Chain A
Amino acid sequence: MRHGKYPLIITFLVPPLLLYGVFVVSPYLQAFQISTTDWLGYSADANPVGLDNFRTLLHDGYLWNALKNNALLLAVVPVVTIILGLFFATMLNMGGRRGRAGVSGVRGTSVYRTVYFFPQVLSVVIIALLWKEVYHPNSGLLNGTLGALGLPTPSWLGDPRTAFWCVLAVMVWSNVGFYVVLFGAAMSAIPRDIYEAVMLDGASRSVTLRKITIPLLWDTVQVAWIYLAIAALDAFVLVQLMTNGGPNFSSDVIGLRMYDTAFGSETKFGYASAIGVVMFFLTLSVAVLALRAGRRDRIEYS
């Protein structure tokens, strides 16, 4: 078994390591270093300024404004998406009455599941551009519908009061289908006899959902929360393409702040990297928090 194992280990491990080291590890390490300089871009002129960039960050009103929007996304998107996902997954997996009580899906389950999953296979760019047209104040689908019903037709993305919430709604829209399928897969892994037992004991449907299904899905919900929280800290593509942070920075997010600082009209690479470092610690703490807060005993079916 030992004979000739090292040639394989070396040929199999060195190319991926090189690729990963050059394009992933080294940029990440450099980013921390760049964040402590006043580098302004294409000239090689970068002076170490210690933590000055981070001190500037603390008083940067635009950054706090963007952070506030990310905090709102973080507070709303995961909760709403998970509730909708659980609701639809429950309906699709156990909303039906045929067969064994309470554990079969409604009719047309597979069609619903196919359609709900559509946004997941579309690129975020397409979703953003399509919804920008849906929200269009004159020729959009939304105002076309509202107008036909005789309702007021707001300007949605053009209004600082609504623009951010319009983007948030699209974020929920594009994610729900994936979690319906994810929760659905986790639900069908729950052994049927558990349900049969509780039905025999006369448990109602809502009790079954609260006391059996959701506790058994807890691990999956936790994973969903982490992924959605990370997505809420990003939201860059949707915001950039739908509103570009506007009107008047009302829908700005921290990713867009960083992108514009680095690749916008001025190229403040040092400062942009400092924003990147902040994003890194935010992502890390959100994930760690979710893992700690949600820790429960693992349940395995044998």
Chain B
Amino acid sequence: MTILEPPVAAQDTGAPVAAADRPVRRELGVANLFSHGFLLLWGALTALPLLWMFVTSFKSNGEILADPWGLPAALRFDNWVRAWTEAQIGRYFLNSAVVVAGSVTLTMLMGATAAYVFARYEFRGKQVLYYLFVGGLMFPVFLALVPLFFVVRNAGLFGTWTGLILVYAAYSLPFTVFFLTAFFRTLPTAVAEAALVDGCGHFRLFFQVMLPMARPGLISVGIFNFLSHWNQFLLPQVLMQGDDSKWVLAQGLAALAVSQGYAGDYSQLFAGLTIAVLPVLAVYVMFQRQIQSGLTAGQLK
């Protein structure tokens, strides 16, 4: 890795800046070597375990136990096939997709409508209701776990995807409402007023004018919700006990790790993990700008 400065470096810096630059030059050379070292080290620390997982997913169990650094003698895709069928990772993947599609849609619909009302309309009790929603941000899910279990069971939703979808959406509302209310407030009021004067109804105004204008905010919070629902583990573990054909991916992987512990089938676990990671990483690399800003925007607000 070269840290030499390319010849074009100082080309477009103005004269005064270049002059101020000179005394710090020597300091920078050492600092740069130092900083590049650390940056590379952390990069390796982040990427190596993932790379190792990927390579190991092609190895046989014997190869895995013999040498963690060794390369597989052949690309054993049958590990992947076993994980997909025997460990049912394929099924769990689809289950997760169904649940998350439902829960994100519901969260966005409920969150956007509630946030719009809080941001744009005046009515009695508005403050109280708003803080009721946003206050949920402060409560740890653990506190609700026991009663939630019974609420879901008494509603006849225990072990069902519907139950999981409703619960995911309910627990995502505080952040979604908080974020989108702030976002709807930033949109100009003039457009809405003009539309109302032109005889546009309140409902049409929301769906045809305000929602399209709020698209960047909706995308940010949508990505945030998608990832947190996709990665949810505690809630399904409590609310989806029993019937393992309905489990979500996180549960399936955890169960695979447990059964691997008894059977010693390491390659199947690594293949299962790789199958779970690859699509997520692929989507991330494709949309990384949106994903990074979507996830960080929520905290910077």
Contacts and interface: CB of A to CB of B under 8 A. Distances in A.
Contacts of B64: 139
Interface stretch (A17-25, A56-64, A72-80, A155-163): A17-25
Contacts, number: 291
Given A13-B129, A31-B143, A181-B292, A284 B138 contact: yes
Given A88-B38, A91-B35, A4 B201 contact: yes
B284 A129 contact: no
Contacts of A134: 49, 52
Contact of B253 (A114, A126, A148): A126
A49 to B, nearest CB: 16
B44 to A, nearest CB: 9
Given A26-B147, A118-B281, 10 more contacts: A9-B121, A15-B110, A28-B139, A30-B151, A91-B39, A111-B43, A117-B288, A126-B273, A277-B143, A280-B139
21 contacts: A22-B151, A26-B147, A28-B147, A31-B143, A31-B147, A88-B38, A96-B32, A97-B25, A106-B35, A106-B39, A118-B284, A123-B230, A130-B273, A181-B295, A196-B17, A199-B20, A200-B17, A205-B31, A227-B299, A273-B147, A279-B143
A23 B148 contact: yes
B146 A118 contact: no
Contacts of B151: 22-23, 26-27, 30
Interface in B121-177: 121, 123, 129, 132-133, 136, 138-140, 142-148, 151-152, 155, 166-167, 169-171, 173-174, 177
Contacts of B206: 8, 12
Interface in A86-135: 87-88, 91-92, 95-102, 106, 108, 111-126, 129-134
Given A31-B143, A123-B231, A16 B17 contact: no
B69 A145 contact: yes
Interface stretch (B79-87, B112-120, B214-222): B112-120
A220 B299 CA distance: 8
Contacts of B12: 99
A201 B9 CA distance: 22
Contacts of B110: 15-16, 19
B203 A8 contact: yes
Contacts of A53: none
Contact of A202 (B23, B43, B46, B68): B23
Nearest to B50: A118
Contacts of B249: 123
B48 interface: yes
B144 A234 contact: no
Contact of B285 (A114, A220, A279): A114
A20 B21 contact: no
Nearest to A277: B143
A276 B129 contact: no
A102 B202 CA distance: 52
Contacts of B230: 123
A258 B145 contact: yes
Contact of B254 (A1, A178, A241): A241
Instruction: Classify the interface of chain B: helix, strand, loop or mixed.
Output: helix
B9 to A, nearest CB: 5
Among B133, B202, B284: residue with most chain A CB under 10 A = B202
A28 B147 CA distance: 8
Q: Top 6 A-B pairs ranked by shortest CB distance? A: A144-B68, A123-B231, A23-B170, A30-B147, A12-B113, A27-B144
Given A134-B49, A263-B238, A129 B269 contact: yes
Contacts of A98: 5-6, 9
B196 A115 contact: no
B138 A126 contact: no
Given A223-B299, A269-B146, A13 B114 contact: yes
B213 interface: no
A182 interface: yes
A34 B147 CA distance: 8
Contact of A237 (B152, B234, B273): B234
Contacts of B231: 122-125
A143 interface: yes
A54 interface: no
A102 B24 CA distance: 9
B17 A199 contact: yes
A259 B140 contact: no
B190 interface: no
B53 interface: yes
Contact of A99 (B13, B273, B277, B280): B13
Contacts of A125: 231, 233, 250, 253-254
